[in-house]
Each structure stands twice: as C-alpha cells, then as structure tokens.
Structure 1
Amino acid sequence: MKSYIGLAAVSLAVCMFVPTVAFASTTAQVKSGDTLWGIAETYHVSVNSLEQVNGLHSSTIRVGEKLQIPGTSTSEHRKSSTALYSTSSRSSRRIVVVTVKSGDTISGIASRYNASVAETLKLNGLTSRSILHIGQKLKVFAGYVGTHSSRGVSSAAGIGQEVLGLNIVSFAKEFIGTPYRWGGESTSGFDCSGYVQFVYGHFGIHIGRTSYAQYDEGGPAPARYPDIGDLVFFNTDGGGASHVGIYVGNGEFINAEDRGVRIDSLSSAYWGAHYIGARHI
C-alpha cells in the first residue's frame, strides 16, 4: 500500500510541475526628442499600457527618465526591432494608408499590399462599384511592404506617419459623447481646440491652445483629401479659423461642437459652407 501511495505522490508531483519562462526586464531611457508614442511604437506596446506600468498621469516624459516596458523581454524586442513589418505571418499585418494615383484600382492596390479586395472594400466603406479618385486615401491591411509597393507610401518613415494618424483618430474616438464646455480641455468637457490639443498631446505633439494658433502650425494639407489625423478648420463666425477638428477619413472629421464630441461630414450643408482648409502638423 505504501509503495502505491509513494508512486501516486510522485505522479502527482510530476503532473503539477509547470515549466516557467523567465522574461528579462526591459527598460527604455528617455532621450532628447523622444515621445511616449514613439517609445510605444518602438517596443510594440500601447501608450496606455506604458502610462499604467510607469504610473504616468500625462504624456509628458523627461530626458534621462527610465520607463518600464510592459510584457516584453529583451529577446522579444530584439526580434521585433529587426523590421517594421513581418513578412512571415498575416497576424502581424498593420493598416497603412495609400494615396490613390492615376491608373490605380482597388484590386491593384490590394495586390501590392498582399491584401484581399473584399477586406479593402469593407475597411474603406466601399463597394465593388465605387469609383476611386486621384488623391483619395485608402486604408489597407498590409501583409508585407515590399520594394514594389512604394507607390502610395514611399518609406518606413512615411508609413510611420500614416500609422500615427490612425492612432490619433482611434484615441480621439474614445471621447465621443463627451460634452462641450467653452474653455474645456479635459474629459469633463472640451471646446474644439482644447479637444484637439488634448488628443495630440497624448502622443507628445504640443500645439497651440486656440484654433487660430493651431491654424498657423504645421504645413498646408490638401483640402479635399487631407491625411487621416490632419487638422481641418472652419470659419464659423467670420473671423477666420474659429473651429477645428481632426480628419478621420472618408470625408468625415471628429470635433467638439455644441452637441459634444462627435463625427461630422465635411460635405454637410453647414460644415461644407464654412470649411476653409486643412493643416498637417
């Protein structure tokens, strides 16, 4: 009987043994010019997770500060930093934004980025009968970005800017429904420029407090087809750039207006009549 008990005890111990994997702690030291968003992109983590792990209450970071990187190991970072896009797995695909050129078709663009036509149409709210326009921006799930696919996005740096725009819009949408408050610049209530400043500030991009100051920053963007994440401006009171929003694509923008944070159309009767242009920060 004792031998059976001993054997059972050994078997139980073997069954209960669970191998563990040791992860080396990864930290990043902030250098001049670094932003929280840039560090998050480098280590493939979210800005929110960086803020939570390091007890940050804003996107402001100081040169020399050491940040803990959540859920990563040194080997993982070394592997992931070898290329911006992996060519070995569809699960690593990212969204890139392509500018339509003369002669482009949905199927041709999808083919260049190893994406399906159906998912490209769905991602952009299009149908098989939709007509593309030169200068139009299309989002594509990129399986890989090869040397042959530089027609719409010419470099890794360009892709980084497009991805930044998508992240800005994604973060901005988290506050849909937040009430309007004149002079507001927090989640308890925003005015138009306070909202834009808050969203951009989350990514370490510091811009002026008023819509007039923001209109003087950055460079001009195509009024008809701004980049996703660009600022769009309106003259609502006859005094110039009195209102501002963030372009989200497909002719729409997100803004803090009298009805709160919401998405509106550039082609609506009111906004279309008061639209004065776009700026790329």
Structure 2
Amino acid sequence: MKQQLLSGVLAIALFSTVSLPLAEAATYKVQPGDTLYRIAQKHKVSVADLKSWNKLSSDSLYANQSLNVGNAVIAAPKKVKNPVKAKVTAKPTTPAPSAGTTTYTVKKGDSLYSIAKKYGVTADQIIAWNKLGSTNLLVNQTLKIGSAQQPSKVVPVSAEKPAPIPTPAPIAAPVGNQASSIYAAALKIAYSLERTPYVFGGATPAGFDCSGFIYYVYSQAGLKVSRTDTVGFYNLSSEIANPAIGDLVFFQDTYKEGISHMGIYAGNNSFIHAGSKGIEVSNLATPYWNQHFVGFKRLKALK
C-alpha cells in the first residue's frame, strides 16, 4: 500500500508544470571612465534606451551611479505535457544554438582569426553567433563561442539593427549645409597643420594640444566654439553612431582617467589629432586607440 501511494505521488510530481519565466530589472553601477556608449555596448542595448529607462537628459554620468540596463529574463523550461514520453524522444541531429556555448572576453591584441583558431571554429561563425556588424573588436568585449559542430544561424541585415561599432562607415554628409561647409573647411585646415609640434595647452600653429587643435581648426573653419578641454568638448557635443568626416572622436584613460583625448574623424577608420609626434593621422584599428576608444560625437552648435 505504501509503495502504491509513493508511486502516485511521484506520478503527480512528474506531470506538474514548471513555473513561467520571471523577469527582473537588471542594474549596472557606473565605474570611473564609463560612458553611455560602452555601457550600452556591454549590455547589448542602445544609448537611447539607456537614456529613456533612466530618464537621462544628457550623456553625463558619475561614479557609482546605478543605471537600469533593461530586463533580465530568468529562463524556465517549457511546460511538458508528457514527461515520460519526452525522455525517450530521439535527440535532434542539429544541436540548439545555445548548446555548448561559452563566453570569451577580448584581450589586447586579439583578432577574430586568433580567437577562432583558439576554439577550433571559424571567424564567420563568431560573427554570426554574436551578430557582429564588423570584424573590429574592443578590449573587454564579451563574445559567445559555440562548438565547431554548432550551426551559426545567419541573421539577415534587415532583421535586426546592428549594435554600434567603433569604426562604422561614414554617412554622406553631416546634419545640414552649415555643418557640411564647416567640416570641409576644417579638414582642409587640419591637414595643412600636419607635423605641427605638440605643446601642452597650445592652441596656435606654434604648437597644439588635442583640444587646442580642435578649437583652432573649428574656429578657423567658421564655427564659434569655446576654448575648452576634452571633457568640455565632450559635454558640448551629442553622441552619434555613424560619424561624418569632420565629426569628433573621443578616447579615455590615455594620460589621465576619464575622457582625456580627442581628434577629428577623417574617414576610412582614420582620425587627425595632436599626438605625441605633433599633428598626425592615426588609425582607430590600432590596438592602443582601439583599447581607449569611447565614441563619436557632434558639436551641438552645428546646424
């Protein structure tokens, strides 16, 4: 009798349903040097969403600030009508996309090829698993890595808007005629100043620092701007995902913590700036600049 009673209890337990998934708000505590762009990329959301969820009116953040970064869903298995029968169901020949998935944090000097070789997969599979819009990687970027046998479902470009990447293709023109005219003049002036020496605090052709170079070039091109530092320019501009040639590019944690360096985007992943060798053209894909890259912005004064 006891044995029959126990069997009945087990049968009831087997046929009981599993509770539905629960959703809980995910929060993130701002670290020194964080930007909305980096936090959005880390949590695979947009900057616009972060601003909306947290009712932010600007891009400014402060250390230890708590941000709502969306809803994290705690997955639960689907309801099984016949658990006993489910146990004997043949194993599917194609594994689910999430089976055997691990994560990898990008390190300095990594490339898609070197990571793919390490895990015995292809670069194309890594691109598909992570829905990457570019082969460029960021230090500390988290990647999903499946197995070599795991199918890599290719998502059509139109199916999902790609996440912002550090080296997107430039748009054809800035926001308006005024900006277009100023940008054309600014680039011409900037290139004419190549090899001008670096001078801390400098803002004349005798020598420039990074913010002094931006101030001089934009002023000479006809835009009224203040002589401020990199943080000042950062606060006077709006974040954009796809830069036009002539927009600003910002970096952090170079010679000091936080926003510390800037330049003018020149197209083809390059930017012109006041570097250690003076006014020079550098590439965003080089390990150093890739590691310190923050994002692209456009001065709010432009029309």
Q: Judge same fold: TM > 0.5, yes or no.
A: no
Q: Tell me the TM-score normalised to structure 1 length.
A: 0.43
Q: Which structure has the bigger radius of gyration?
A: 2
